Amino acid sequence: MREVILSYPGDEALADALASARDAARGALHVRAFPDGESHVRVDAEVLDRVVTLVCSLHRPDVRMVPLALAASTARDLGASGIYLVAPYLPYMRQDARFVPGEGVSSRYVARWLDGLVDGVVTVDPHLHRVASLGELFHKPTQAVSAAGAIARWVRGLSREVVIVGPDAESAQWAQALARELDVPWLVMEKVRRGDRDVCVQAQGLERASGRLPILIDDIISTGRTMAQAAAALVEAGCERPVAVGVHAVFADDAVALLHQAGCAQVVTCDTIPHATNAIALSETIALAYDAFMRSR
Ligand code: R5P
């Protein structure tokens, strides 16, 4: 057995699915903090001459990325012949331009940093807006897995006539992909962001929502302001209370309560980030894509 899958604490279930897809050995990363806050990482597996995959979703990125970097360097040091990363959530992708003078383009810097650590990255629905593909950010091979099929299966389970609604222009790619899977109408609203917690969303093309259950879809729900404003606009326009679906349950603040207050009938997410709203499992989808990615290496 030449491959070994190492799970970051909390990512064991996905690591099991990947190991089973590749018939690979399983190991773990033990991570703890020293009293001064520095991270201590131990690789719990034999990695000499083996291809190692680190499984680590990168929510709370400023806490998890340093231990991940230490883990990758440790595995390399211990003789791993290749190191890959499966990170269901890839952070920092929204800062994809210099919006105000003096700030950095973090998406590029984080991609370069990961490029220096691992030999390839598999992730789910990365926030790609001003760049068309991960290939424009990374030099190493990457695979962006789509959650649309799994979300579509969940929506079909509602047994309702639905319309897919993206809350802003950036969500068009996810709204369109889901609508295609389901073969239903879709529309995108217009958002103006004035600050981290200050957005304004306006509805348009709502005639397509008539008589249908609106499924609001976005890649990331963070403060929930985007989804909440979109839900409120739908309800105000006389639509049925929407179901809010997020791929990545970042959920800063008390976003779930905000979404319900705004009129959402239900809030569900994929399990790329552990959260009480996780209702759509992606292990199988990620494992299939990961297996294909590794076969192509
Ligand atoms: C950006 O366009 C993303 O796709 C999301 O719409 C955004 O991150 C949501 O942020 P929040 O929940 O804080 O409004």
Contacts of 184-193 with C-beta under 8 Å, sequence gap 24+, read 184/212, 185/212, 187/163, 189/165, 189/230, 189/233, 191/167, 191/226, 191/229, 191/230
Judged on CB neighbours under 10 Å (0-12, 13-18, 19+), 278 is middle
Q: Is the CB of 223 under 6 A from ligand 1?
A: yes
Q: Which atom of ligand 1 has the smallest separation from the CA of 229?
A: 14
Is the separation of the CB atoms in 93 and 126 below 8 Å?
yes
In order of 97, 171, 251, 253, 293, the CA distances from 197 in angstroms are 19, 18, 12, 10, 38
Ligand 1 center from residue 222 Cα (angstroms): 6
Q: Is the CB of 221 under 6 A from ligand 1?
A: yes
Q: Which residues contact 35 (CB under 8 A, 6 or more apart)?
A: none
0.85 exceeded by pTM: yes
pLDDT at res. 208? 87
Q: Residue 7 belongs to what H/E stretch?
A: strand 3-7
Question: How far is 146 from 26, CA to CA, in rounded Å?
Answer: 25
Q: Which amino acid is at 190?
A: E
Sequential pLDDT tens for the chain (297 residues): 589 999 999 999 999 999 999 999 999 999 999 999 999 999 999 999 999 999 999 999 999 999 999 999 999 999 999 999 999 999 999 999 999 999 999 999 999 999 999 999 999 999 999 999 999 999 999 999 999 999 999 999 999 999 999 999 999 999 999 999 999 999 999 999 999 999 999 888 888 889 999 999 999 999 999 999 999 999 999 999 999 999 999 999 899 999 999 999 999 999 999 999 999 999 999 999 999 999 999
pLDDT at res. 1? 59
pLDDT at res. 253? 84
Ligand 1 center from residue 82 Cα (angstroms): 35
Q: Is the CB of 225 under 6 A from ligand 1?
A: yes
Q: Is the CB of 246 under 6 A from ligand 1?
A: no
Q: Which residues contact 164 (CB under 8 A, 6 or more apart)?
A: 175, 178, 179, 182, 184, 185, 186, 187, 215, 217
Number of residues written out for the chain: 297
Give the residue, out of 92, 107, 216, 221, with the most ligand 1 atoms within 8 A of its beta carbon, to mutate for a pocket test: 221
Q: Is the CB of 219 under 6 A from ligand 1?
A: yes
Q: Could you give the angle at the alpha carbon of 167 between the alpha carbons of 163 and 170, nearest 5°?
A: 115
Q: Is the CB of 173 under 6 A from ligand 1?
A: no
Q: Which atom of ligand 1 has the smallest separation from the CA of 223?
A: 13
